[in-house]
Chains A and B, each alone.
Chain A
């Protein structure tokens, strides 16, 4: 890698291909590993609405509820801020839309960059706060493994390098962009084998939870 352009070409080309291949490999493997285990037939007389309950829970657990805000305000508020900031950056920044369009052929309108800027800052600040929270909250400190901290750092890096590339905090711009893409590729590669996988599996988890509860006549 003798110059920044080559570095950029490397991460946009072969490394991206490798990252996507590993990502898809892992995601398909993980989802199959989960679903293949199946579950036993339930012979109890259902109060009905398994599917409906499943879908409702998928949707409802995305919304803030009083219980969480009241009892775990820190992680709840920071969690929302991070996810909103991150997804605004990921899905509404036009260069990202262009990337997705190049990959899967669908596109949608983006947001002006000042909004993305705010979203990125929100995401980074909440990630940093989540990191600190993990260190000081007794339950989180107790539960946390190396992976929990490591992933916060990796996700922070992807947002930060993107922010740095946009704001030219690093010269030359092609290197800044290349580091951003490289950190995203790192995230893609580790994604299926870490808890980042919750991005997909939470839909399965919520569905089972909601369906099993709905069967008993409770909306969970």
Chain B
């Protein structure tokens, strides 16, 4: 596809009508949490936008994020957007391989210096573990730093890139770090999730194309539009929580009736993501709807916060050991203190000198 075409031209070439395009823009606006009146502005901006060059780096990842994106069925918003960007480098999706592939990356970097979008999925080993993951003999860290240098925007797709994810989970054998740690000082948009919702990835891209910058982010650098509300607050099972109706096993009455999964370890209350509203597979369902609690996959270190099936209010450590330790130490010290106290009392009794009336007036 010709890279000099604007997005508008490209869409029209693929047979998208003006009406269809405007509809797409309205949908995008609503997805991004913008007022419908913003749709013409989005349309105007997208009309004029050059197809951006996108370099997609995959490090220590499972390809689930790419799978998530490519699972979408046409015609979807994300399909439209993805078809019309210039994905110049992506291991899994590009036809070229070997030197040719690396060449494509270098070429894209040179031609679009300062203008391309860098998407990363997967975490990367730190300096000490460089050998754990290399591409074409280049360590992940070097490749990231080199590629990031001329990028207009950096998007960490998936929890591994955003927060380290599975490779980062204890005991983190490769010394994995998230993208943000490898690029201190760079502003990075995190689109976490394991995997993230495809619409969210394209929504961020659409925002970049429309406004030329990055959307409003939360403390963890996630777009507020998609990560502004917790799963718990938007969950359709929330009324059961408020009524005190909970499933206590996966096959009990409560589970069959679709009651709240909090007691089965649902992490919805601490998880910020759009699953409950956008859902998955073109709005078919999402984890809680399928009967399983939220794992909290869009939160940092979700692997290491005490198990997927442990209720959020329950302690995660070995409390019985701590309790036994405290109780035994308490009993030991108490025994000593008790004996000492009793002895002190007895000594005081012994030391007591009998009081007679003759002593009373002495003072």
Measuring CB to CB, which residues of chain A are less than 8 angstroms from any residue of chain B? 3-6, 8-9, 12-14, 16-18, 20-29, 31-33, 35-38, 94-96, 98-99, 101-103, 109-114, 168, 171-174, 177
B313 touches A (CB below 8 Å): yes
Chain B CB within 10 Å, residue with most, of A5, A103, A168: A5
25 contacts between A and B (CB under 8 A): A4-B299, A5-B296, A5-B300, A13-B306, A14-B317, A17-B319, A17-B321, A20-B319, A21-B325, A22-B326, A26-B330, A28-B327, A28-B330, A32-B338, A36-B338, A36-B339, A94-B244, A99-B313, A101-B314, A102-B310, A102-B314, A112-B243, A113-B244, A173-B269, A173-B270
Chain B 210-229 interface 0/1 with A at a Cβ cutoff of 8 Å (1 = within): 00000000111000000000
Q: Which of A27, A35, A174 contacts B330 (CB 8 A)?
A: A27
Find the A residue at minimum CB distance from B299.
A5
CA–CA, A16 and B262, complex, Å: 20
Contact yes or no, B230 A13, CB < 8 A: no
CA–CA, A23 and B315, complex, Å: 15
Residues of A within 8 A of B319 (CB): 16-17, 20, 102-103
Residues of B within 8 A of A168 (CB): 230, 233
CA–CA, A18 and B325, complex, Å: 10
Contact yes or no, A174 B317, CB < 8 A: no
Taking the closest CB of chain B, its distance from the CB of A199, in whole angstroms, is 16
Residues of A within 8 A of B306 (CB): 9, 12-13
Taking the closest CB of chain B, its distance from the CB of A30, in whole angstroms, is 8
B353 touches A (CB below 8 Å): no
Residues of A within 8 A of B230 (CB): 168, 172-173
Taking the closest CB of chain A, its distance from the CB of B335, in whole angstroms, is 7
Residues of A within 8 A of B334 (CB): 28-29, 31-33, 36
Contact A94/B269 with A36-B337, A112-B242 known, Cβ cut-off 8 Å = no
Contact A25/B316 with A36-B341, A37-B341, A94-B246 known, Cβ cut-off 8 Å = no
CA–CA, A12 and B230, complex, Å: 20
Contact yes or no, A5 B325, CB < 8 A: no
CA–CA, A13 and B327, complex, Å: 18
Q: Which of A27, A37, A99 contacts B314 (CB 8 A)?
A: A99
Chain B 301-326 interface 0/1 with A at a Cβ cutoff of 8 Å (1 = within): 11011100011111111110111011
State the majority secondary structure of interface residues on B.
Answer: helix
CA–CA, A22 and B319, complex, Å: 12
Contact yes or no, B244 A95, CB < 8 A: no
CA–CA, A18 and B262, complex, Å: 25
CA–CA, A94 and B312, complex, Å: 11
Q: Which of A9, A25, A36, A98 contacts B263 (CB 8 A)?
A: A98
B232 touches A (CB below 8 Å): yes
Chain A CB within 10 Å, residue with most, of B301, B313, B329: B313
Find the A residue at minimum CB distance from B233.
A168
Contact yes or no, A3 B342, CB < 8 A: no
B331 touches A (CB below 8 Å): yes
Residues of A within 8 A of B21 (CB): none
Contact yes or no, A32 B335, CB < 8 A: yes
Contact yes or no, B341 A12, CB < 8 A: no
Residues of B within 8 A of A37 (CB): 341-342, 345
CA–CA, A8 and B300, complex, Å: 11
B38 touches A (CB below 8 Å): no
Contact A177/B312 with A20-B323, A95-B262 known, Cβ cut-off 8 Å = yes
Residues of A within 8 A of B345 (CB): 37
Contact yes or no, B315 A25, CB < 8 A: no
Residues of A within 8 A of B280 (CB): none
Find the B residue at minimum CB distance from A180.
B313
Contact yes or no, A33 B242, CB < 8 A: no
Residues of B within 8 A of A177 (CB): 269-270, 312
Q: Which of A31, A110, A174 contacts B244 (CB 8 A)?
A: A110
Taking the closest CB of chain B, its distance from the CB of A8, in whole angstroms, is 7
B241 touches A (CB below 8 Å): yes
Taking the closest CB of chain A, its distance from the CB of B126, in whole angstroms, is 15
Residues of B within 8 A of A36 (CB): 334, 337-339, 341-342
CA–CA, A93 and B321, complex, Å: 26
Within 8 A of A (CB), among B226-280: 230, 232-233, 241-244, 246, 262-263, 269-270, 272
Taking the closest CB of chain B, its distance from the CB of A204, in whole angstroms, is 14
Find the A residue at minimum CB distance from B232.
A173
Chain A CB within 10 Å, residue with most, of B242, B244, B335: B244
Taking the closest CB of chain B, its distance from the CB of A193, in whole angstroms, is 12
Contact A172/B263 with A5-B305, A32-B334 known, Cβ cut-off 8 Å = no
Taking the closest CB of chain B, its distance from the CB of A82, in whole angstroms, is 22
Q: Which of A35, A101, A113 contacts B242 (CB 8 A)?
A: A113
Taking the closest CB of chain B, its distance from the CB of A130, in whole angstroms, is 27
B34 touches A (CB below 8 Å): no
CA–CA, A32 and B336, complex, Å: 10
Residues of A within 8 A of B243 (CB): 112-113
Taking the closest CB of chain B, its distance from the CB of A99, in whole angstroms, is 5
B333 touches A (CB below 8 Å): yes
Taking the closest CB of chain B, its distance from the CB of A200, in whole angstroms, is 13
Find the B residue at minimum CB distance from A29.
B334
Q: Which of B302, B316, B338 contacts A13 (CB 8 A)?
A: B316
Chain A CB within 10 Å, residue with most, of B218, B232, B246, B312: B312
